[in-house]
Amino acid sequence: MSFWICETCAVESAEPTAVCAVCADERQWVPATGQRWITLQDLRELGYRSQLAELEKDLYAVTSTPGAGIAQQSKLLRTPEGSLLWDPVGFFDEEVVARILRLGPVRAIAASHPHMFGIQVEWSRALGGPPVLVAEADARWVARPDPVIETWSGEREVLPGVTLSQPGGHFPGSAIVHWAAGAGGKGVVLSGDTVFANPDRKSVAFMRSYPNHLPLSGAVARRVADHLDRLEFDRLYGNFANVIASDAKEVVRRSADRHVGWVNGDFDHLT
């Protein structure tokens, strides 16, 4: 089956439609030059290459150069029972697939939200057919239906000690991964941009749209933060190279307090 890739967000589609629905939504954008679709072969001929780099024990970054679409940093989380590929990028080559499989079988592929779907079905085919887990609340954004796609909601343990759950916010089904054994047993959250690790490395953001600067309400930011607060974790990885290296649980709490204060007008005297 042929498929197409949106040049702007790198989400796959069964057909080259007039516009990418993901990009046409208020959380994303269609370039002024209009919609463009490309193929995986196009990217390979343009010289795209994949990289796999260790972030910490049993956690790896998967990227491409140049960056495809949004150019997120996927995470490969390895356990003795197999691996999870999180926020799959919109390009891969045979070399990175082989390196991933040498680390063990991939048991599932999942994305934090539709912007991060990438070429999730094609990744599954290359990695031996693991299920692609899509939040039921966001399933309407899938533009390349396939039998490997499974919907889920609430909470799902995909591997021992590795659990998907849905704080919502950025999208209704926006998800995180909790990895209990990460950070030397202190716990890790892979947050996508459900919770976004900021450049200052000591705060996070809660937004409906990051590129279009549309914030979530204080109530929703609090709900998302409370969802994470029930978990034990010390480190938080975003969907790029952004990370809160330590004390991340407290950082999420403080950032929620600050967000609520600003949207409620508590700091208007500073403006």
Nearest to 99 by CA among 49, 56, 148: 49
Share of the chain above pLDDT 70, in %: 100
| CB within 8 Å of 41: residues ≥ 6 apart | none
Identify the bridge partners of residue 139 per DSSP, sorted by sequence position. Answer: none
- What integer best gives the mean pLDDT of the chain? 98
Given a cut of 70, whether residue 96 has pLDDT beyond it is yes
pLDDT of residue 1: 56
Distance CA 58, CA 164 (A): 17
Distance CA 39, CA 41 (A): 5
Kindly report, residue by residue over 8-27, the tens digit of the pLDDT: 999 999 999 999 999 999 99
Given a cut of 70, whether residue 194 has pLDDT beyond it is yes
Q: Once rounded to an integer, what is the mean pLDDT over residues 81-107?
A: 98
Q: Once rounded to an integer, what is the mean pLDDT over residues 53-75?
A: 98
Domains of the chain: 4-30+48-270 (3.60.15.10)
Given a cut of 90, whether residue 251 has pLDDT beyond it is yes
Kindly report, residue by residue over 26-46, the tens digit of the pLDDT: 999 999 999 999 999 999 999
Q: Once rounded to an integer, what is the mean pLDDT over residues 158-181?
A: 98
Residue with tokens 């693991």: 130
pLDDT of residue 85: 99
Distance CA 45, CA 235 (A): 38
